[in-house]
Amino acid sequence: MKLLTPRETEVLRLITEGSSNPDVAGRLHVSDETVKTHVSRVLAKLGLRDRTQAVVTAYESELVVPRAGGGLRGTQGSRWPSAPGNSPRTSGSASTLPRNTSANANRSAAPAEGNAHP
């Protein structure tokens, strides 16, 4: 992240909030073209393909960190509601595995009588 200018870092933080280019432009008082340039430079400097990879990289490098209440440290907050399991994955953590809910368990159940295939 040291490769990024302060403005590029700010744009990346806004991207992690889910802001579109017009949203970022409005918040930073710049044109959409300027935002596109900043986003392109962020992707190029970090060797990334798209905005999704940029968001993942921002979390992995701890440029932004989820906090209780759904906001992001180092930003003006998040547009996304807080939800259990919305934090970045930690390798090997059991909390990242899908839960065996009754809906999931029923998917693998044998078909009911009359619905069986011959």
Residues of the chain above pLDDT 90, percent:
52
What confidence score (pLDDT) does residue 61 get?
Answer: 93
Q: Which long-range contacts (CB under 8 A, 24 or more apart) does 53-60 make?
A: 54/12, 54/15, 54/16, 55/15, 55/16, 56/88, 58/12, 58/13, 58/15, 58/16, 59/16, 59/88, 60/88
CA 37 to chain CA mean position, Å: 21
Domains of the chain: 1-76 (1.10.10.10)
Residue 53 in this model has a pLDDT that exceeds 50:
yes
Tokens of 45: 């400097």
Of the pLDDT bands very low, low, confident and very high (cuts 50, 70, 90), residue 12 is very high
- Across the chain, mean pLDDT equals 74
Of residues 18, 4, 9, 8, the one with CA closest to residue 51: 18
**pLDDT given for residue 96 in this prediction:** 41
> Is the model more confident about 64 or about 111?
64
Query: Global pTM?
Result: 0.57
Task: Check pLDDT > 70 for residue 29.
Answer: yes
